[in-house]
Amino acid sequence: MTNEGAVTYKGPERVFSGVQPTNGLHLGNYLGALVKFVALQERFKECIYCVVDLHAITADLDPKLLAGNTREVAAAFLAAGVDPTKSIIFVQSAVRQHTELTWIFNCVARMGWVQRMTQFKDKAGKHAERMSVGLFDYPVLMAADILAYKATHVPVGEDQTQHLELTRDIAQKFNNDFGAPGFFPLPEGLIQGPENEKYGARIMSLRDASKKMSKSDPSDQTRINLSDDADAIAHKIKKATTDPNPLPETVEGLAGRAEAENLVGIYAAVAGVSAADVLKEFGGKGFGTFKPALADLLVTKLGPIAGEMRRLMADPGSLDGILRQGAARAAAIAEPVLDDVRKIVGFWR
């Protein structure tokens, strides 16, 4: 699709992103999303961060755990440094406009577009016919999340790139079909880390660097969880798959060494430096030196976040207050957008 809708969009810049409340967060979520959420608060006047519980129920989920998991992700936002006086933090199911816009977008998006989504194919495998319709429709809900706020910038990890393309296609088709040029922006993904480093955009499994670090991997050893203690972090890094060679002196030397590249990338993203800087310090040294340094860095960075999350979770009343206030602020932005959408679509009013 062409990009002409972006040219005519005249509204304010706005950041939106979401994180699912499924089984706790890991280092990939932290570097792919949370670190960017915090950095963007300084660059943009309006940042909106959402715990996407409607997305979480597209897979089987224990209803007894959902509210607690939702609070845990909100606590992670805050503990990582998202400031509720600067950003809006809220829960997706508390703002009805998301589901209303999803239905309208279901009638804009084409089957062929959604069928191309690789994440559904990966999750469903050979059992697509047994998956929920919600899992298939998941990216349309994501488009509604973003466009209910007319968000222009979306910080996410690399795995969400295709969903953002779909979001732009839906925005463009809505604008074209309903004769509303420039009504929705064509939102841009913010995939790279703060220094435009590619590291952080795609953190790989600690055991198999051809797979991304993921909540759904059955082995906990493949990921660092935000809730891991120092011993667990040290153990997982020590056991991480590597090759027998020392680290190279230059970034080019990481080519073809996916495990080494992943660990150097993690170090760079967590320390907020470039991979070249990491190799200036550790080039020529073996993993026997590098791994303990990486484990120490992770413990120093993630330890206080885990501690702050525990503190916040111990006071669910305060957390719920922040989320309720966030939902009211979010709805105040989304409702006028939906009101215009209802008019544009031609509903009886």
Active site residues: 123, 212, 215
Cβ 226 vs Cβ 30: under 8 Å: yes
Q: Tell me the sheet residues that pair with 51.
A: 19, 91
As a whole number of angstroms, the distance between CA 230 and CA 296 comes to 8
Selected binder of ligand TYM within 17, 175, 222, 262 (CB under 6 A): 17
Neighbours of 273 (CB within 10 A): 16
Give the nearest distance from C-beta 151 to ligand TYM in angstroms. 8
Q: Which is nearer to ligand TYM, 152 or 160 (CB)?
A: 160
Rounded Cα distance between 125 and 216, Å, is 14
CB of 206 to ligand TYM, least distance (A): 11
Residue 188 binds ligand TYM, judged by CB under 6 A: no
Structural contact between residues 48 and 330, judged by C-beta atoms closer than 8 angstroms: yes
Among 157, 185, 248, 326, binds ligand TYM (CB under 6 A): 157
Nearer to ligand TYM, 246 or 337 (CB): 337
Out of 40, 142, 209, 302, point to the residue binding ligand TYM (CB under 6 A): 142
Q: Which stretch binds ligand TYM (CB under 6 A): 126-134, 140-148, 263-271, 279-287?
A: 140-148
Contact between 152 and ligand TYM by CB under 6 A: the answer reads: no
Does residue number 168 form part of the binding site for ligand TYM (CB under 6 A)? no
| Contact flag: residue 213 with ligand TYM (CB under 6 A) | yes
| 268 interacts with ligand TYM by CB under 6 A | no
Q: Transcribe 151-175 into DSSP letters.
A: -SEEE--GGGHHHHHHHHHHHHHHH
DSSP annotation of 183: S
Evaluate whether 187 touches 199 at the Cβ level (below 8 Å): no
108 and 183 Cβ atoms separated by less than 8 Å: no
In this chain, which stretch among 18-26, 224-232, 264-272, 284-292 interacts with ligand TYM, using CB under 6 A? Answer: 18-26
Rounded to whole angstroms, the Cα distance separating 322 from 263 reads 36
Among 5, 28, 185, 193, the residue binding ligand TYM under the rule CB under 6 A is 28
- Cα-Cα-Cα-Cα dihedral sign, residues 204, 207, 209, 212: negative
Quick check: 203 and 213 in contact, CB under 8 A? yes
Stretch that binds ligand TYM, among 150-158, 256-264, 315-323, 332-340 (CB under 6 A): 150-158
Options 105-113, 196-204, 261-269, 293-301: segment touching ligand TYM (CB under 6 A): 196-204
Output 103 or 315, the one with its CB closest to ligand TYM. Answer: 103
Among residues 14, 55, 153, 173, which is the contact residue for ligand TYM, using CB under 6 A?
A: 55
Residue 215 CB, nearest approach to ligand TYM (Å): 7
Per-residue buried b or exposed e for 206-229, using 16+ beta carbons within 10 Å of the residue's own CB: bbebeebbbeebeeeebbbbbbbe
Q: Which residues bind ligand TYM (CB under 6 A)?
A: 16-20, 28-29, 31-33, 52, 55, 142, 145-146, 154, 156-157, 159-160, 163, 201-203, 212-213
